[in-house]
Each structure stands twice: as structure tokens, then as C-alpha cells.
Amino acid sequence: MTDTVVIAGAGHGAGQVVATLKQRKYAGRMILVGDELHLPYQRPPLSKKFLAGELSAERLHFKPASFYEDPQIEVRLGTRIDSIDRAARRLQIADGDDIAYDKLVLATGSRVRKLSVSIPGSDLPGIHYLRSIADVDAIRSDIASSKRLVIIGAGYIGLEVAAVCRQLGLDVTVVEMADRVMSRVVSPHVSDFYQLEHTNQGVKLLLSTGLAAFEGKRRVKAVVTDNEQTIAADFVVVGVGIQPNKELAEAAGLEVDDGVVVDDQCQTSDPDIYAIGDCTSHPNEIYGQRLRLESVHNAVEQAKTAASNICHVETHYSQVPWFWSDQYDVKLQIAGLSQGYDQLVLRGDPSSRSFACLYLKDGALIAVDAINAPREFMQSKALIASRAVLDPELLADAEVALKDLT
């Protein structure tokens, strides 16, 4: 008998599971099941170079189509898994078929958080979310025939879209409930830098401003804020976060918290089921807590971990998280998680457009936001992982390399 690994989901992490299984010389069958019609592809460029037209859909792909042309691999796209029968180790598929598995990897990812249906006009044509190639294709179509864009949300997605669309010549307004941009992930110092950058580029930022309604009959024509401002809009892009696709696991009786609960080998409460990526809640020994991370790095490394353990190569996942964002000619690279910091050290001058914010807790470095400062980003990871107590004055001295402080 030949064992079968089924991967539920066909995102970047799912593609990495297949790649690692092949690398580990897995001898069984691999079945990749995804509800999109595309082979596994990278999502981060969607709101950056792909939206700007600088990257083709083919170049988004994690691997070329030929990679999956293997007798061991079966790819089923445009297919939704309805349920998991854990006792029988079978998956019920939406088209009425079912698939048997020996090991299952849940790579179900996440979906956009949608605006409440109670907001008048929230279902009007011309209001977009950005999560897939199809979403970007629809946004591009409106960009080509529009002059005025309103963005709801000043997180990564909202600001990346704002940067691309300003460079394409559109009039851009961003509406954000919080009192600063990217407030969930960066300090006020970094928010101030990006607010100035976007303002200088001509973006109108409406902070501490909520959404009341959308106006329009056949499609959106304006956005109405909670302070009764009416902003003309030819189209709207909403970026108010994502939420994990944990329902399939939950219905199957797996342990679920903020996401699908896994251990440091990416194994769920069922030893025959693993989970990876945005949908998971995993232990992190560096921060001493469970984390659910929305990042390609996390998805890829968990994929490698799950696939290796399926191949009986014992592997444990514990790494410093990292993220990035490209806006105009500014690259933000984040290492670690800054939540709960009690001291901030500024390294470099923000006016030079190359600096870093270093976050300490109880004297130890827990995170770094590096703006056009790749060296600080790369060298900070080892310091964060070591949890060593560091001298703030040395950290602030840009003449002292971070690698020399280990």
C-alpha cells in the first residue's frame, strides 16, 4: 500500500509542503486540493508589483506548472473540501467525491475581513477587497478607467495600494479609524515617518475617522465618514485585516483557539493531521506564548516542518518572525514582535529615510523595525533569538554593528 498525503489548500505554504516532501524523497501520493483555479502562488506581491503591472501572473507562481507534472502528484483546483471524517480518514469534497488520506496537512490560510453588512452600500459594485489574483485583476480594471480612489484601512494592504495608485496618477484618500497608520504593527515613530511619506506623495490621510456609508445607485460613487464627510470615489479598496480559515478544523473537532492549535512540529490534536500558515496557532519559545502569524515566512517554515515530520525527520519550529512592506521606494522590514515593549531605541535619523526602531522589554531586544536599513534587519534576528540583555546606548550607536553585540 502507498501512503497518501493530502494538502488542503493551494497557497504558497501548500506548494512548499509538496516541495519539501519531494526533497525528502517521500514515496507516496500527494494530493493538492485548492478552491482557487491557480497553482500555488505568492500573495505579498499582489498589492505591490503585481498591482502595478510590473510582475506577470506566471512570475507569482511558487513553482512552474511542470513541477507538478509528476506521477506522485495530483492537483485538484477549483475544489472545496466540505468536511473531514477523522475516524475514516476521508475528506468530503463539494462535488460529492471523497478523498482518503493517511496524513492531512491543513493549509487553509485566511480570508479578508469584510465590512459589516449593516454599513449602507457595502455591497455596491466598485468596492474591492484584495486577497487573490482575481481581486487584483478587478482592481486593475477600475484603475484603468478611474481618477479617484478611497481606501478603507491604513494597514499594510491599504498603504501599499495607496503607494501604487498614487504612482499611477490617481487621487487617493485613506480612511482609518485609528489615530495613526499601521498602528497594529509599528510604533508611533514609524507611523509618523509613513504618514509624512504618504502626505508628501499626495495621499490624503483621514485618521481617527470611521466609515458610515457608501453612496451610489448602480456602483459606488462616494464614501461617507462618521464625521459626515462625503468623499467622491470612482472605486474603493477595503483593507481591514484578515481572519483565519479554521472552520473546517473546528467542525472536525480539532483543537482550535485563535487558529488551529498545533505543536512545534505543526501537528494538531489529531496525530494524522498537521496544519501550517495563517490558519495556525503555534507555540513560540522566544516569546513564551502561542502566536498566530500572517506571513509568508511563517507559512513556508511551518510547511517545511510539517513535511519533514511526515517523512519521519524530526523537526521543531521556533524562529524569529519577520515581515516586510514596500511603499514607494521605502522598504520596511520587521524582525520580531514589538507588542509589550517597555523601551524604544532609535538608531539612525528618520529624515535620512534610513533608520531603525529597536524595541526592548526588560532590557532584551524583542523586535526591530528597519526602514531602508537591511543590515539592521538581518543582524537583529540573532539578538532577538538570544534574548540577551543589551546596552541601549550601544544599540543606538549606528557606528557599532549589531552583530558585534552578540
**Residue 184's pLDDT band (cuts 50, 70, 90):** very high
Identify the pLDDT of residue 285: 92
Residue 269: helix, strand or coil by DSSP? Answer: coil
For the domain made up of 329-405, the CATH class stated in words is alpha beta
Identify the pLDDT of residue 388: 86
Q: What is the CATH number that goes with domain 4-46+54-111+242-310? A: 3.50.50.60
Those residues whose C-beta lies under 8 Å from the C-beta of residue 275, and which sit 6 or more positions away, are: 105, 106, 107, 108, 249, 259, 260, 262, 266, 268, 306
- Rounded to the nearest integer, the mean pLDDT of the chain is 96
**DSSP state letter for 267:** B
Share of the chain above pLDDT 90, in %: 98
**Residue 1's pLDDT band (cuts 50, 70, 90):** very low
Q: What is the pTM of this model?
A: 0.95
| Domain 4-46+54-111+242-310 identical in fold to domain 127-238 | yes
Identify the pLDDT of residue 2: 67
Please report where in the chains the cell 477549483 appears, as a residue. Answer: 78
Identify the pLDDT of residue 26: 97
Which helix (H) or strand (E) element contains residue 90? strand 90-93
Distances (CA, A) of 261 to 91, 274, 276: 20, 10, 10
Domain ranges of the chain: 4-46+54-111+242-310, 127-238, 329-405
Identify the pLDDT of residue 315: 98
Q: Give the mean model confidence (pLDDT) for residues 26-55.
A: 96
71 pLDDT above the threshold of 90: yes
CATH architecture type of domain 127-238: 3-Layer(bba) Sandwich (3.50)
Q: Give the mean model confidence (pLDDT) for residues 304-310.
A: 98
Identify the pLDDT of residue 152: 98
96 pLDDT above the threshold of 90: no
